[in-house]
Amino acid sequence: MMVGDTFSAKRTFTRGDVFAFSNITGDFGSLHTMPDSRGRVRVHSLLIASIATKIGGDLNFFSETLDHTFMKAVYTGDEVTCKITITSVTSLDNSFHVEMALIFKNAENETVATGNGSGFIPKNIS
In tens, the pLDDT along 12-68 reads 999 999 999 999 998 888 888 898 999 999 999 999 999 999 999 999 999 999 999
pLDDT in tens, 89-117: 999 999 999 999 999 999 999 999 999 99
Q: Please, which pLDDT band fits residue 125 given cuts at 50, 70 and 90?
A: low
Q: What are phi and psi of 25, to 5 degrees?
A: -95, -20
Q: How far apart are CA 86 and CA 116, in angstroms?
A: 10
Say whether pLDDT at 126 is over 80: no
Looking at the domain 6-13+51-122, which fold is it?
A: Thiol Ester Dehydrase; Chain A (3.10.129)
* Per-domain boundaries in the chain: 6-13+51-122
